[in-house]
Amino acid sequence: MPSTFNVRSRVRERNGVLNRPEFISLNQQPSGGPAESRRGSRRAAPMKPQSSQQSEEPTDSGSRDRRESTKMPEEDCMQLNPSFKGIAMNSLLAIDICLSKRMGVCAYTSSSWGGCRSMVSLLALTGHGITWILGTIVCLTRSNTLAGQEVLVNLLLALILDIMTVAGLQRLVKRRGPWEMSPGFLDCIAMDKYSFPGAHASRAAMVSKFLLSHLVLAVPLRILLVLWAFLVGMSRVLLGKHHLTDMVCGFALGMLHFSLMETVWLSSNTCQNIISISTLSWSPFF
């Protein structure tokens, strides 16, 4: 038979469990009957629309946040997964840079073909804008025929057009060469500071096409003139000044300059007026 002490201890434990905070609501008796609970539920019922109206705003804001959160990953995915066109362009640019660096064998004196650097630089100088402008002016002052003066004046205007157009495109694109090197003195004068498009290639293509169209040359000279234009463009690639795509775009731009100059060709009378005005303006200095 259990002792009275054990029975009392068990009753105390039960009372202690029921007095805990989580069991207090079970011990409390409702103050009113079922009628009051029904009235309370009826009074609480009209308050539901207000709470629903208040809850609509956070749901709207939550839906907006969800839409924004769903849009952002799509934009990120578009950046992380470029299109086929972007992949192809980046691949071609990488190939262009790699081939241009490998072909820059005369970029420095310590390069693989560094001993030929002076000769390649001399070949590039034959396609420089300052060289051709000075040579055209000298030939124009010594020319006595109207046909010769007409060709030389149009060639001088074509050279000025080529220099200004290439300089403007280079300032717009600002593409660096495959090898980091500062431009030379003549390059700064001719505003040939950047890589794209190739100024020497553009000038060589335009001059060779111009001379082939307006001068009567033998077949060997015509072949040599075309070969000279190609070598002038390649010389800048060997020197590490331009990429291969810069040279190709320079050739295309030179042909475009020639076509444009043919459409605005100046007649012999106009060339004579230009020569007379220039001689009158420069006569006080000589």
Cβ atoms of residues 258 and 210 within 8 Å:
yes
Q: Among the ranges 33-42, 45-54, 218-227, which has the highest mean pLDDT value? A: 218-227
Q: Taking the model in full, what pTM does it have? A: 0.68
pLDDT band, very low/low/confident/very high, at 72 (cuts 50, 70, 90): very low
Residue 145, CA distances (Å) to 176, 214, 268 in order: 44, 14, 10
Separation CA 197–CA 252 (nearest Å)? 10
Residue 252, CA distances (Å) to 3, 141, 179 in order: 114, 31, 23
Whether 200 is catalytic is yes
Q: Please report, to the nearest 10 degrees, the dihedral formed by the alpha carbons of residues 121, 125, 130, 136 taken in order.
A: 170
Give the single-character DSSP code of 163.
Answer: H
Mean pLDDT of the chain: 79
Give the single-character DSSP code of 194.
Answer: S
pLDDT tens-digit series, residues 121-166: 999 999 999 999 999 999 998 988 888 999 999 999 999 999 999 9
Give the single-character DSSP code of 266.
Answer: P
Q: Which of 128, 200, 243, 257 is catalytic?
A: 200
Q: Which of 128, 242, 243, 257 is catalytic?
A: 242
